Structures are given as structure tokens and as C-alpha cells.
Chains A and B, each alone.
Chain A
Amino acid sequence: MPDESTQDTLVVQGVSKRFGSTLAVDDASFTVGRGELIGIAGHNGAGKSTILKVVNGTIAGDSGTVTIGGTPRSATDAVAHPEHLGVRTVYQELSLCASLRVDETAAIFDHAAKGLSWRSKAWRSLRAVLDEMFPGHGIRQDATIHELSIARRQMIECASSFIESTTPPRLVILDEPTSSLDASATASFYAYLEKRAADGVSVIITTHRLQEMIDHLSRIYVMRDGRVLSEQDAATATKDSIVAAMGLAAHESERPVPEAADGLPVSTIDAPPVTDGEVVVRLEQQSADGNTADFEIRKGEIIGFAGLEGHGQLLALEAVYRASARRSGGHRSPKRTTHHSVSVVGDSAYVSGDRGVRGIFPLWDVAANISFSSLGKLTAAGLIKPRSEGALVNEWYSRLGIKGSPTDPITSLSGGTQQKALMARAMAVGSDILLLEDPTRGVDQATKSEVYDLLRRQAAEGQTIVWYSTENEELRNCDRVFVFRVGTIVATLTGTEATEDAVIALSFGGQDAELLDGAGPLDAEESVR
């Protein structure tokens, strides 16, 4: 380019992307100047990752243009090799191959490393960046990735994206790059970014650590519901101003109750909290600074677990499941997690929104999928009674309004209907406690409302419901909301005091902190097995 020094490195204009019924990115536009460090902030599901994937061409958008280094392309075109355009990306989920050595990993990024000594060449390129980015990193050439701590793996990913290679980096996209790094590594990381920025490399960062953005970047775009709603100058931005933009901005758009000034009540339940019921779940919490607190869940309550993804909600929910007794009203020894000791009275049933892995049995029909958790009460003399099984399945077909025949294979159903079948499986048990892990993930709005009504009825019948959700809006169906941050419950909000803004403000809290179960579902999976 003739005048590359004055040109913006990246111009995004009017990009939209729809996944099924969800508009993940809605008419987003922003620019990144040459040698500029910018941030994109937003809550879970705001569309940050999607817009970045459209920018680097991993996924094709539905409309809009992306101009990189003065060369425009339609956002509807996917790009096979973004690194040839000088675009590098580090994703939030660590994506290194566990069985490769460090130098072999470097060779994936360093296209210039060829010939017999490719490993050493690649390692020299990586080490040059590593030594400067993370002095004293202590990473050896011949270490295997899986031997390294998460922090060192993250260092390698960050450093790899700045290797010179055949096409030098021009735009580096970093999705939560510092989530596992400590303070000193983070500081030297940003110092390196600033030095490279002076050479003309542009960087886009997304992170939930808002203070980092304010301290180190020049501008911050705030996204909400797929839209870029605000642009803030880092020099004048404060944590409060960013949080306000993330939470409040969206209220300008179509929301059922226009109440922008005070924020929407997350919980619309005005009834006073249940204080007289028997305690069903007790969470004894010990936070990192040594404070202890007890949280009690009573019979018939609907409790929401809120907070940013990966801050310990899932671990706590699964601990409740593992601590549950095998039969109604029974006891079991308490289960410990890093910060909680969980004791439960009674049995529980679990519904996961991760249908594919943690939900359906794909070889069976719907009937066998629904009756599976209730087989104990359908059995006489050791044999399952087909008549009782059929009656149970029919009862739940009508109660949940499931369409089709019980003999249909479960895999022939739509995602929302599969989710209903899984709700039926858990509810048919008639357990004391119902545990929900993001149960409406990927479910359309109509089915969601049906599910909410159903849960209220179940609670009215005396079932206790504990509900982990990544959608704050959903938590308005709860009697009380526990807000998690860094593995501990930092607040409980009751009834109408639980506004969406309060939840967001509490999730980000006073200090930037490390993600707890970043690998969340995976760790949890192991623990349940």
C-alpha cells in the first residue's frame, strides 16, 4: 500500500451474523488504526467472539464489509488463511495441541521454519518473542505442551501470535489473553504490546478484566446483544462507565418493560422470600481471604446462580448434585469444592443445556430417554412394566406439550423439543431438588416461556429448584439470585432488588480477578465420572 502509515489497519462496516433464531452480531461497525491497541467489552453472549471470527474470516458473516490494510472484502467471504493477510488470533479456549513439543508448536505458527532444523528455527523465533514478552518465563524447547501449566500455555499462545513468520503480523486479535496470567506477566505482556504498537502492529483485545483495558488500551468499544453500542476513550473511561454501557445501553432497544432509568428488575417475583421452609441445601463458603459465610436454600425456593461464565457456578451446582442422596429425604456426606462445602437433604435430578454430551441417549426413542431416570418406580419383580412406562411417558408428553410420538428417535427432534424431553426425564423423577444447568441454551423464546411457567408450578408443588443461567434476563424467574465471582458467592439478591444491572455490577466486582474454572465443563465432567 502506498500510504499504509496513515491508513486504518481494520475497518469493519455494518457486519451482521445470525445463528438460527439468534442475531449474534447486529450491524456492527468499528475501526482500528495502525499501531493502535483497542478493546471490545461486553457481557457473555454479547457477540464479541463472533464479530472477531468474522473479522479474521473463520466464519462468514451475513452482510457488511471488512477492510484490512486498505483491502476490502465482503464479510460474507470466509478466509482460509488469515495469517497470509497478517491477521493472527488467540482464542479464549486454549487451542494448543497437548501432545506437541514447544518447538513443534512454534513451527505451526512460524511458516518460515523449514528444512531439517525446522524445530530449532521455530524455537528461536518463538524464544525471541517469549524472552521479551515474559522475561523469566522458564519454558524449555523440548517440553511437551501438556506438561506445562495453563499460564505457560497461555504465554506460548500469546507469543506465537507475534512470531515474524513469512507474513509479519499486522493485526493481532486476543480473546481473553491474560485470563491465566498473574500481575507481573500481565504487565510485561502489555509493555510488549505497546512496543510492537509503536512499530505499527494493531491489536484487538477482549477481556472481562476491565481495569486492564482502561490502563493499557487507547479506545474501548462496548457490545451488547450483538451491537456495538458505545465507544469510550480509555483516558476518560472508568469501570463504572463501561459496566453502565454494557448493562444499560441495551435497554434503549426493544425490551418488554421500558424502565431504563432504574434498570429492569431481574426478578419479577414480589412474594417475600421463603424463610420458614426446611433447609434443603446448605453451602458453607470459605473465600480465599479466609472469610466464611453460609448460604441456605429452603424447600420450594427457586434459586438462580448468576455471574460471569466460569466463575464457579457450575462447580457449585455439580457439587449439589453429587452431594444429593439417592432417595427422597435421605442424607449423604457433604461434598467439598475449592470454596464450598455442600450438604443436601434429599435427592435431586439434573438437567443440562449441553444436550449432546450431558443429556440425550442418541440410540433410543423419546420414551426410553424420558423414563430412564424413573425406572426404579416402573419396575415390578425386577422387570420394567411396559404399561407403567407408557403411562409415565404419556403423562409428561401432555404436561410439557411435547409434539410427535414417543417412539420417534430422540435425534429426530428439534433442539428445543429434545430439551423438553430432558426436562421431562428430570421432572418425572419427582425428586426433592431440581438442578438446571443453563437449561434453555439454544431454545426458542416460546419454549423458554413454557419452561419458566413449568418451573414455577414445580416450585409451588414444593420442589426446590437451583438454576444456573448465563442469561441474566432469565434470572427474573428466581426467588433469590446468588451472584458468583472468582468461585465464591459475593451477594444474594432477593426479589426485586435483583436487577440486571446489579447482577452485572456484582459479577465484575471490585477487583480484577482470575477465572476460576476456565476449562469449566471439562473439569466438571471428570469430577462427575
Chain B
Amino acid sequence: MTDLDTRLKTSPAESTKPGRPTLGAAVLTVLKHPATPAFIGMIAIWLAIGIIAGRGLVETISAGIIIATFLVIVGIGQLFVITVGNGGIDLSVSYVMTLSAFLACQIMAGENSNIVAGILVAVVAGLAAGAVSAVLIEFVGMPPLVGTLAVGFGLQTITLVYSGSVVGVAAPALSQFTTAQIGPIPIFGIVGVVIAVAFAIILKRTSYGRRVEAVGQKPVAASFANARPALIRASAYVLSGGMAGLAGVLLAAYSGGPSLGLGSSYQLASIAVVVLGGSLIAGGRGIISGLWAGAVLLTLLTTLANITRLSGGWQFIIQGALIVIVLALARNPMARR
């Protein structure tokens, strides 16, 4: 990532060498980057859609990037949880999204003046859910898989009971914002890129981010180097909850209002994009650029499946096969732990 590149440039070995690294070496560095297979896969499917459907490439990618942004936002939280290691995984994200969507839409009630309050309520609800997961996992000692699923089921029940009495409508301005374009450029897609860049900087260029990766590699070593593994891991679950809450309200705005199945497809997709992007499922290395490409890839894959009018079964088979191919490409010595 960016910090690695910077360090390469400032390292003494490099500066003492005469001249600059050759173009070939630079290309090799890019090809070896763990995010590369996700970008290649993304571009391949994009082009395939253009060829098969004869659709405009620009419209395809700009629509894809908008829809992928929801996945990027949830996926970033998931990436932090996976990167802190110790079997970290957050299965509650889909339930957090749905509940947050209902809460936010009730607050907004179709009024633009309530947008800030609505988003705030959604994010805070998500942070709270993440905090409960963190307590169950880090202080009660439940395995992450079970802890987050338990929280998710709790939230699902709350949503079922609570949603019966609520008719929420998203604020129209927020709905327009998620679909607005300047020429061919989707504004919401740009927001997704900005969020991804911000979190890439947090992960790679702050001491908090370094601790996240360190704890994911060797929690005992980190504890002997002045980091507190339990606190770092707990923070990742809280972050993941907050991101899922944000994604929930935005998705509700995009689709006009909340629904009970709103988040369900994001539970496993959020995990898939983390792995597709070159992050290690065992923790210790998070790649946010790859996650972004992975999210666009998955979104375009659905588009491709839809336009080829294949039956649902075949769509899943093709999706699965493509994911296997990307992961096979992404295998490198560092990933084998």
C-alpha cells in the first residue's frame, strides 16, 4: 500500500543505489500486490458485460460503483474485524443494517431536515450493537462467530417486533444524493472512494492501524510491545457496527425505504470482498484498495448474471467459480500461514 511505497523510497538501501528503480521492477511490484487479482477480475467482468450485452461501458461501471459503495462501507468494518485476527468475523452486519435502516427512516420520516439526526441514530445504533459484540467476545470470551451471530439474532427479533408499528420513509434529498451524477460520474461512488482512502490511511499510516495489524499477526508479541490486544480487537467490532449502521441508512435511502430483507445479502458478501481484496482471513494484513475492487467485482458479477438471463442456479455457480479463480490468483507465499 501507499505507506510501503513511501518507505521503499526513503529507505537507505534505495537512496544509495544509483538511478531509479527500473520500469520492469515497478511493474513486478504492482503485479505482486495482493489487491491486483481483484482489480484484474473487476476489469475483466466489466469488459465482459460490455461485449456480451453491448451496453455502454461507462454506464455499466458508474451504476456498478454506486451499488458497490454500500458493500465497500460494510466491508471496511468487516475488514477491520477480520484483520484483528483471533478468528474475528462479524456476522451481525446484515441485521445491524436492517435495524438501522428502520430506525433512521422513522426519525427522518421523509423530511430533509432530519437527515443528520437519522444518519446519527443509525450509526450510534450500529456502534452500540458492535459494543455488545465486543463485550461478548473479548470480555465474556465467546467465539466471534457465535458472539456476533447471537447479537444479530437479537437485533433481528427487535427489528421484527419494532418494524410492525413503523412506516418510515427516507428523506428525499438523501435518496437523490445516492443516485445523483455529475455527467457520467456518480457522486455517491466518489464518496465511497473517499471513505475507502480515508480508512486505508487509518489502517496503514496511524499507530492505531499498525496495532490492528500487529494484534492480528501475533497478539502475544503485541502485548509485550505496549499494545492492548483485547482493546484493539474490541474497537474493531465497534467500528464494524458503526459502518454497518451507516450502510443501512444509505441503502434504505437508495431503495426508498427500509425492508426486512434489506441487509441479508451483505452478511456473506461483506466477508467475501475482504478476502477477494487480498486481506488475510486469518488476520494481520488488511488491503482496503483490494476490498473496493472486490466490491465492484461482486456487484458487476450480479449484473453480468442478470443480463445473461441465466437461471439462478447457474448464476451462483458462475459467481462461485469466479471467486475461486481470483483467490487462486491471489495466492502468494505471504498468504500461506
* Chain A interface residues toward B at CB < 8 A: 321, 326, 349-350, 352, 357-365, 367-368, 372-373, 375-376, 379, 382-384, 386-387, 389-390, 394, 397, 405-407, 409, 425-426, 429, 525, 528-529
Q: Is B219 an interface residue (CB 8 A)?
A: yes
* Chain B interface residues toward A at CB < 8 A: 3-4, 6-8, 10-14, 201, 205-207, 210, 213-214, 217-226, 229-230, 280, 284-285, 334, 337
Measured CA separation A429–B229 after assembly (Å) = 19
Residue of B nearest to A359 (CB): B221
Measured CA separation A352–B221 after assembly (Å) = 9
With A360-B218, A529-B230 in contact, do A405 and B13 touch (Cβ < 8 Å)?
yes
Shortest beta-carbon distance, A439 to chain B, in Å? 12
In the complex the two chains form, is A363's CB within 8 Å of B284's CB?
Answer: yes
* 23 CB < 8 A contacts A-B: A349-B225, A350-B225, A357-B220, A359-B218, A361-B221, A362-B218, A363-B213, A365-B4, A372-B210, A375-B207, A376-B207, A379-B206, A386-B10, A390-B10, A390-B11, A390-B12, A405-B13, A406-B13, A407-B8, A425-B225, A426-B225, A529-B220, A529-B223
Among A360, A373, A425, chain B packs the most CB atoms within 10 A around the CB of: A373
With A386-B7, A405-B13 in contact, do A358 and B217 touch (Cβ < 8 Å)?
no
Measured CA separation A458–B193 after assembly (Å) = 48
Residue of B nearest to A371 (CB): B210
Measured CA separation A367–B3 after assembly (Å) = 12
Shortest beta-carbon distance, A408 to chain B, in Å? 9
Measured CA separation A383–B4 after assembly (Å) = 14
Choose among B7, B220, B285 the residue that contacts A358 (Cβ–Cβ < 8 A): B220
14 more CB-based (< 8 A) A-B contacts, given A363-B217, A368-B7, A525-B220: A358-B218, A360-B218, A361-B217, A361-B221, A361-B222, A365-B4, A375-B210, A384-B205, A389-B7, A390-B11, A394-B12, A406-B11, A529-B229, A529-B230
In the complex the two chains form, is A528's CB within 8 Å of B214's CB?
Answer: no
In the complex the two chains form, is A384's CB within 8 Å of B3's CB?
Answer: yes
Measured CA separation A357–B225 after assembly (Å) = 12
Shortest beta-carbon distance, B18 to chain A, in Å? 16
Among B7, B8, B219, B222, chain A packs the most CB atoms within 10 A around the CB of: B7
In the complex the two chains form, is B214's CB within 8 Å of A529's CB?
Answer: no
Choose among B206, B214, B222, B224 the residue that contacts A382 (Cβ–Cβ < 8 A): B206
Measured CA separation A459–B8 after assembly (Å) = 34
Choose among A362, A386, A397 the residue that contacts B3 (Cβ–Cβ < 8 A): A386
Measured CA separation A363–B1 after assembly (Å) = 14
**8 tightest A-B contacts by CB?**
A375-B207, A405-B13, A390-B10, A386-B6, A350-B224, A361-B217, A373-B225, A528-B223
Instruction: Please give, as numbers and ranges, the residues of chain B lying within 8 Å of A367 by CB-CB distance.
Output: 7, 11
In the complex the two chains form, is A383's CB within 8 Å of B221's CB?
Answer: no
Residue of A nearest to B2 (CB): A386
Shortest beta-carbon distance, B278 to chain A, in Å? 12
Residue of B nearest to A398 (CB): B12
In the complex the two chains form, is B217's CB within 8 Å of A362's CB?
Answer: yes
Instruction: Please give, as numbers and ranges, the residues of chain A lying within 8 Å of B4 by CB-CB distance.
Output: 365
Residue of A nearest to B218 (CB): A361
Shortest beta-carbon distance, A192 to chain B, in Å? 40
Among A352, A358, A379, A387, chain B packs the most CB atoms within 10 A around the CB of: A358
Measured CA separation A326–B166 after assembly (Å) = 49
Residue of B nearest to A382 (CB): B206
Among B11, B13, B222, B280, chain A packs the most CB atoms within 10 A around the CB of: B11
Measured CA separation A367–B7 after assembly (Å) = 9
With A372-B225, A383-B205, A386-B7 in contact, do A364 and B217 touch (Cβ < 8 Å)?
yes
Instruction: Please give, as numbers and ranges, the residues of chain A lying within 8 Å of B221 by CB-CB distance.
Output: 352, 357-361
In the complex the two chains form, is B206's CB within 8 Å of A383's CB?
Answer: yes
Instruction: Please give, as numbers and ranges, the residues of chain A lying within 8 Å of B219 by CB-CB distance.
Output: 529
Measured CA separation A389–B207 after assembly (Å) = 12
Shortest beta-carbon distance, B176 to chain A, in Å? 34
In the complex the two chains form, is B13's CB within 8 Å of A407's CB?
Answer: yes
Among A352, A363, A373, chain B packs the most CB atoms within 10 A around the CB of: A363
Among B4, B221, B284, chain A packs the most CB atoms within 10 A around the CB of: B221
Choose among B13, B207, B214 the residue that contacts A361 (Cβ–Cβ < 8 A): B214
Measured CA separation A368–B11 after assembly (Å) = 12
Measured CA separation A373–B222 after assembly (Å) = 9
Instruction: Please give, as numbers and ranges, the residues of chain A lying within 8 Å of B11 by CB-CB distance.
Output: 367, 390, 405-407
Measured CA separation A352–B218 after assembly (Å) = 13
Instruction: Please give, as numbers and ranges, the residues of chain A lying within 8 Å of B205 by CB-CB distance.
Output: 383-384
Instruction: Please give, as numbers and ranges, the residues of chain B lying within 8 Å of A389 by CB-CB distance.
Output: 7
Measured CA separation A375–B229 after assembly (Å) = 16
In the complex the two chains form, is B12's CB within 8 Å of A528's CB?
Answer: no
In the complex the two chains form, is B224's CB within 8 Å of A358's CB?
Answer: yes
Instruction: Please give, as numbers and ranges, the residues of chain B lying within 8 Å of A372 by CB-CB distance.
Output: 210, 214, 225
Instruction: Please give, as numbers and ranges, the residues of chain B lying within 8 Å of A409 by CB-CB distance.
Output: 334
Measured CA separation A376–B13 after assembly (Å) = 25
Shortest beta-carbon distance, A376 to chain B, in Å? 6
Measured CA separation A382–B207 after assembly (Å) = 8
With A357-B218, A358-B221, A384-B206 in contact, do A363 and B229 touch (Cβ < 8 Å)?
no
Measured CA separation A375–B13 after assembly (Å) = 22
Measured CA separation A390–B218 after assembly (Å) = 23
With A363-B285, A368-B210, A529-B219 in contact, do A407 and B224 touch (Cβ < 8 Å)?
no
Shortest beta-carbon distance, A5 to chain B, in Å? 54
Shortest beta-carbon distance, B87 to chain A, in Å? 15
Measured CA separation A405–B280 after assembly (Å) = 25
Instruction: Please give, as numbers and ranges, the residues of chain B lying within 8 Å of A350 by CB-CB distance.
Output: 224-225
In the complex the two chains form, is B7's CB within 8 Å of A390's CB?
Answer: yes
Among B205, B207, B223, chain A packs the most CB atoms within 10 A around the CB of: B207
Residue of A nearest to B285 (CB): A363
Shortest beta-carbon distance, A419 to chain B, in Å? 13
Measured CA separation A359–B223 after assembly (Å) = 10
Instruction: Please give, as numbers and ranges, the residues of chain A lying within 8 Å of B220 by CB-CB distance.
Output: 357-358, 525, 528-529
With A390-B10, A406-B11 in contact, do A528 and B224 touch (Cβ < 8 Å)?
yes
Instruction: Please give, as numbers and ranges, the residues of chain B lying within 8 Å of A386 by CB-CB distance.
Output: 3, 6-7, 10
Residue of B nearest to A437 (CB): B224
Shortest beta-carbon distance, A407 to chain B, in Å? 5
Choose among A373, A382, A397 the residue that contacts B226 (Cβ–Cβ < 8 A): A373
Instruction: Please give, as numbers and ranges, the residues of chain A lying within 8 Å of B201 by CB-CB distance.
Output: 383
